[in-house]
Amino acid sequence: MSDKSTQGSRLTRREFLKAGTWGFCTMGLTGISACTRERNNQNTPTPQTARKGFIRAIPSPWFTKLENYRVRCELCPRQCELARRERAVCRVRENRDGVGYTLVYGNPLLLQEDPVERKPFFHVMPGSWALSVATVGCNLSCKFCEAWDMALVEPEEVHSYDMLPEKLIAHVQAANVPAISFAFTEPVVYYEYMEAVASLAKEAGLLNLVHTAGYIRPEPLKALVKNLDAVNVDLKSFDPVFYREVVGGELEPVLATLKLLKEAGIHIEITNILIPTLNDDPEGIGRMCQWIARELGTDIPVHFARFYPLYKLSNLPQTPVSTLDRARSIALNEGLKFVYIARVTGHEGENTFCPGCREVVIKRMGFVIDEMHLDKGKCSYCGTEIPGIWA
């Protein structure tokens, strides 16, 4: 970026989406810039041009036909029943004359290289990069949504790329990164696209990483997991009332998603954004950690993330570091072995500690790996195995 662009002329995310270009530095969700890596010119992907509005819509098998040309979407717990020309809550699934369509297949609005630590994945190939993919749309309505201008808008409002699965895989290979990350908006709503891309990525030897709210029905999730390697689930609270009033969904389907992922042998990490006065109650945090330890195991990495005022909760303060420290202490006392603090650069909670000898085996500074003391997934000091995907 030019000197001018780094001195107060940064694009907002909405300006970036309207610009329709890719390959320059974009602002991170917490104000930390994540730039496209320097690469050998021979491997640089061909620049893509985005255009506003629909690119394509295709029929989806995840609809059930009902009477009078109505259809029911079977992807998420909402199971939206749609009349002709009606769209689901997610904005990207539509009934066209009695046939359910996805409106975002091959139409990502974001293609961006990021460190895997940004997802956040702290136990997946530390220091590596992934190409992040996202379309418009979300099946929840979080009042603290960090990507509301991508997730909570209509497809007609944004610029998108024409990037069918085969073309996207070629793009990732040209970028010379080992993984695809379905993140930033909600991957469940572009399920058909994610499924096709993930299948091709698996064949090509690429990792498939997903960051999701986990609001999906068991049947489509079971069909998808065979191609997934790691999933970070936003467990937004352990309070059903919070889910209904602040998230716009239900807690139980998210817990079911986590248990299904565990049964399928997928590497899981969990993110919990702590919002002052809404979901930072120590008792609730304790119950959540007890459930994680009991149902998923004590090896599951948990990230307590700092809330920053935005969207419909801009009146609340950012999360005090003391609140994050308290949550981390609660989790450790409940037996969780890998508990992190996110979005507080330089905090010791960014580091991975060996549960055997308590030495730092991965030292981080934000998204940067400062030191790593692992030998084939084991602590270099005492030989304790650290769960994750290390190669």
Residue by residue, DSSP assigns 52-87 as ES----EE-SSEEE-GGG-EEE-SSTT--EE-TT-B
Rounded CA-CA distance 183/296 in Å is: 23
At residue 18, the pLDDT reads 36
> What is the spatial distance between Cα 234 and Cα 211, in angstroms, rounded to a whole number?
8
Per residue in 291-314, pLDDT (tens digit) is 999 999 999 999 999 999 999 999
- State the chain's mean pLDDT as an integer: 90
Is residue 224 within 8 A of residue 187, CB to CB? The reply is no
pLDDT of amino acid 307: 97
pLDDT score at 41: 39
What structural domains does the chain harbor?
9-51+108-344 (3.20.20.70), 58-102 (no CATH), 351-391 (no CATH)
Return the pLDDT at 54. Answer: 78
Each residue's pLDDT, cut to its tens digit, for the chain (391 residues) gives: 333 333 333 334 444 333 333 332 332 332 222 334 444 434 556 667 788 877 899 999 999 999 999 999 999 999 999 999 999 999 999 999 999 999 999 999 999 999 999 999 999 999 999 999 999 999 999 999 999 999 999 999 999 999 999 999 999 999 999 999 999 999 999 999 999 999 999 999 999 999 999 999 999 999 999 999 999 999 999 999 999 999 999 999 999 999 999 999 999 999 999 999 999 999 999 999 999 999 999 999 999 999 999 999 999 999 999 999 999 999 999 999 999 999 999 999 999 999 999 999 999 999 999 999 999 999 999 999 999 999 8
Q: Where are the beta strands (DSSP E) in 154-301?
A: 159-160, 179-182, 207-212, 230-234, 267-274
Sign of CA dihedral 257, 259, 265, 269: positive
**Chain centroid, CA 209 distance in Å:** 8
Sign of the dihedral through C-alpha 318, 250, 281, 184: negative
Beta-strand runs (E) in 127-206: 129-134, 159-160, 179-182
State pTM to two decimals. 0.89
